[in-house]
Amino acid sequence: MTVNLLDFDAEGLAAWFAGHGEKPFRARQVLRWMHRFGEDDFGRMTDVAKSLRATLAAEAEIRGPAPVRDTTADDGTRKWLLDVGADNAIETVFIPEANRGTLCVSTQVGCALECAFCSTGKQGFNRNLTTAEIIGQLWHANRMLGAVKEPGVGDSGERVISNVVLMGMGEPLANFDHVVAALKLMLDDNAYGLSRRRVTVSTSGIVPAMDRLRETVPVALAVSLHAPDDKLRDRLVPINRKYPLKDLMAACRRYLESAPRDFITFEYVLLDGINDGDAHARALLALVKDVPSKFNLIPFNPFPDSGFHRSPPDRVRRFQEILMAAGVVATVRKTRGDDIDAACGQLAGQVKDKSRRGASSRLTFAPRRTSEVSW
């Protein structure tokens, strides 16, 4: 059976090579060829022994998700629709800016959390992505953007993709093991060499997994909050019924003990007349008073039959002003790539639903819009 080497982090790859009687340095060589150089042909790995290259060609492969569509917006934002098999596809977005380039990565085909305002949740849930399918999005984007290193050329310090955010389709911490393996590759100096500050995991608040992430690979953390009290959050973010705000805030405080940044980012989609009042803003301040934090305020992107509306600009400004007057950093998410449905809250993809929320599987396809993701 052919093994996809993109499924292995450094430890797993070393173990696979050891099982073939190879020394650890051989695994490091191949890791660099795959991730730093973007190579998928064992025959071109010139410093690897010919006999090993032949073994690899017979028993292994390097295969990321297959591209279905590649679209570039007027502002330079680029979106890929990637085939992950069985009539399912995910979306990955690259957002270029003057001082950084951010890649927004998906972790599941669909999502099972059913947040009330999120179109991804309306599509249903099919499965977790594998490590190869998660890290394969970064691997593919690097190749398409011409960002792979040349063998023998040192690191200049400049990166086309300088930041990665796990904020696309799915709840990352519901796919913990595969996400952690992908994170380790993103941080590995023989692979992508990103700093922990430049890799962000977004979660709706799966408390035990937040603690595991803190203990395993504590990268920057963003929490999808969206409400200042349990009653409203139970409605908007149903996972809150299992892990209420008291438990979530305690988990955030614990996470900061190991986090690479000294604050938690809270994501907050503003819904007209639902969670955007002055009282909501003041309640938020009370909620996070013991949690060093920054808020990303996200304008809602409507989708058919959502039942929600975008807060007017003056209401967004007022909400932001209340937070900032109390000394809390609050930014309003800038829209990027909206002409190709790649803006914050517009990732959709293609999901053949296997969840139990419908009597049978159904297929939904972009341009359905999600309002849970951000970067």
| Count helices and strands in the chain by DSSP H and E runs | 11, 16
pTM of the entire predicted model: 0.90
Going by the DSSP 8-state scheme, the letter that residue 115 receives in this structure is -
Residue 250 tokens read as: 């305690």
Q: Where are the beta strands (DSSP E) in 45-189?
A: 60-61, 66-72, 78-85, 88-96, 101-104, 108-110, 125-128, 163-166
| pLDDT for 363 | 32
Going by the DSSP 8-state scheme, the letter that residue 36 receives in this structure is I
Alpha helices (H) in 115-154, listed in sequence order: 119-123, 131-144
Neighbouring C-beta atoms of residue 251, cutoff 10 Å: 25
19-28, 50-59, 118-127: which has the minimum mean pLDDT?
Answer: 118-127
| pLDDT for 31 | 98
| pLDDT for 366 | 32
| pLDDT for 117 | 85
CA 127 – CA 301 distance, rounded (Å)? 25
Phi-psi region at 139: left, alpha or beta (left = phi > 0; alpha = psi -120 to 50):
alpha
Mean predicted confidence (pLDDT) in 216-231? 98
In the CATH scheme, what architecture does the domain 66-365 have?
Answer: Alpha-Beta Barrel (3.20)
- Each domain of the chain, given as residue ranges in start order, spans 3-61, 66-365
Mean predicted confidence (pLDDT) in 294-315? 90
Summarised one tens digit per residue, pLDDT across range 175-213 is: 999 999 999 999 999 999 999 999 999 999 999 999 999
Scan for tokens 């991804």, then name that residue: 120
pLDDT mean across residues, the chain: 89
| pLDDT for 242 | 98
Going by the DSSP 8-state scheme, the letter that residue 240 receives in this structure is G
Summarised one tens digit per residue, pLDDT across range 265-292 is: 999 999 999 999 999 999 999 999 999 9
Which has more confidence, 306 or 195? 195
Mean predicted confidence (pLDDT) in 123-152? 89
| Percentage with pLDDT > 90 across the chain | 75
| pLDDT for 368 | 30
Supply the residues annotated as catalytic: 91, 344
Residue 266 tokens read as: 């809270």
Residues 6+ apart with CB under 8 A from 207: 243, 247, 248, 251
| pLDDT for 95 | 94
Buried b (16+ CB within 10 A) or exposed e, 186-215: bbbebbbebebebbbbbbbbbbebbeebbe
pLDDT band at 369 (very low <50, low <70, confident <90, very high): very low
Instruction: Please answer whether residues 169 and 111 qualify as being in contact, where contact means their C-beta atoms are separated by less than 8 angstroms.
Output: yes
Q: What share of the chain is helix, strand, coil (3-state, %, to 5)?
A: 35, 20, 45
3-61: CATH, from 3.90.1150.10, 1.10.150.530, 1.10.10.10, 2.60.34.10? 1.10.150.530
Closest CA to 205 of 229, 238, 166, 168: 238
